[in-house]
Amino acid sequence: MEPVDESDLEWTDHEHGDRTFRRKQLGRAAGSEELGASLYDVPPGKRTWLRHYHEGNEEALFVLDGSGTLTLGPDEVEHDLSPGDYVALPRGEESAHEVRAGDDGLRYLAVSTMNEPDVTVYPDDGKVGLYAGSAPGGPSDERSLSRYLDIDAEVPYWDDE
């Protein structure tokens, strides 16, 4: 393993309406196997991923520059973010979160365990993500299962029911 200089990595752009951000996957570039680390750059007023939480992985955020708002937990409590802030996001509903950049944009480091399988719950959108073979944020070509489903989708265990 050798150190990775983030300036040597290309940004991956994500744009889905007001969810606009850039990401550099530092952990993967450095050869990490069980710990993910990504640098995020979010333009003023934009948001990152849909509000979600993980059942199989823990995440954490460390604010490097700018400002923003973290919406946290099932009650959607808003917290101001500024440089030096660290947020632990253990597994489960209490860590449901969404990040929005402030007027000066936001740059932060996100770190997560890379356990699989994992279930990601999107409470505002009524869906779940299922991942096996590679954790969310891991190589998608290594996944044996990667699906987003309606959270209310259910079928009986036995076909004759």
How confident is the model over 117-147, as pLDDT tens digits?
999 999 999 999 999 999 998 888 999 999 9
DSSP one-letter code for 6:
G
CATH number of domain containing 107: 2.60.120.10
Residue 10 lies in a domain: yes
pTM over 0.85: yes
Domain total in the chain? 1
What the block records as the tokens of 63 is 């604010």
DSSP one-letter code for 47:
B
Task: Give the list of residues 6+ apart from residue 17 with CB closer than 8 angstroms, or none.
Answer: none
pLDDT in tens, 80-112: 999 999 999 999 999 999 999 999 999 999 999
Residue 41 lies in a domain: yes
What's the pLDDT score for residue 153? 92
Residue 128 to residue 117: CA distance in whole angstroms = 13
Q: Please give the residue range of the domain that contains residue 54.
A: 6-116
Please, what is the average pLDDT of the chain? Answer: 96
What's the pLDDT score for residue 138? 87
- φ/ψ of 43, rounded to 5, equals -65, 160
Residue 158 lies in a domain: no
Residue 56 lies in a domain: yes
Residue 20 lies in a domain: yes
